[in-house]
Structure 1
Amino acid sequence: MKKKTGHYGEQLSRKYFINKGYLILNSNYRTRLGEIDIIAQKDDTIIFVEVKTRKTMTFGLAREAVNYKKQVTLIKLAEQYIQYKKLKNMNFRFDVMEVQWNENKNQYEINHIENAF
């Protein structure tokens, strides 16, 4: 169930970025260190995106799950990606997508936090 929720949130987030004029470069970029949910580009900026989807507030706000340890991992993954793709003359940022999903009503709300850390 958790995987389904996360997958749905990532799908909604990709659609959100495409509608805003971003180019999706990678989804679920994975190395032995971990995974970046979405890597997108807008103009000369590469955006590394962590998507957090919640159905309830039981465990707090979705963005609170992107703690310091998770941020450090994402930064290391981004550094690997930048070196692997030999990206030069680009700007980089880390965004968090909070997706609050009410499955019963089939409604969702997206909070896009730019430059989250």
Structure 2
Amino acid sequence: MADHNDFGKIAEDMAAHYLQKKGCKILARNFRFQKAEIDIIAEKDHLIIIVEVKARSTDAFMLPQEAVTKTKIKSIVSAANHYLEEFNKDNEVRFDIISVLPDENKTLIIDHITNAFEAFDAN
């Protein structure tokens, strides 16, 4: 089995490929601002999609989206704001989580949660 970082990279590649198949254009990967990092920034129909990729090599006790803490959300939001300013974009923004989990046959399954941060109380 690949080590954690390799698995994370595989998961990000899968997520990027999945988004492209859905008609998204990948604008950036691993966009860094201060301590924050955005895994994927994509665009579709003038909507900027900020994607946090969560990978689990085992069926852990916690859902991948539960691993995104309020602190992490805040840092992703600030990095997203910085990206929009830097590239002078005034598009609407959506925050998604794509989780990559193996099923019982070790096949990697993608779960795409759109508007993920709205499900959280990000205050």
TM-score (norm 1): 0.91
Structure 1: which 5+ residue stretches go unaligned? none
**Higher strand share goes to which structure?**
1
Distance 2:4 2:34 in 1: 22
Aligned structure 1 segments of 4 or more residues deviating by more than 6 angstroms: none
The offset of 1:58, in angstroms, is 3.0
Write the mapping of 1:1-117 to structure 2, written as runs, cut at 5 A. 1-88=3-90, 90-101=91-102, 105=105, 107-117=107-117
How many percent identity over aligned positions?
37
Calculate the TM-score normalised by the size of structure 2: 0.87
RMSD: 1.5
Asked if structure 2 preserves the Cα contact closer than 8 Å seen for 1:53 and 1:101, the reply is no
Report the Cα distance in structure 1 between the residues aligned to 2:20 and 2:69, rounded to whole angstroms.
27
The answer (yes or no) to whether the contact 1:23–1:41 under 8 Å persists in 2 is yes
Q: Which runs of 5+ in 2 are unaligned?
A: 118-123
Aligned length: 115
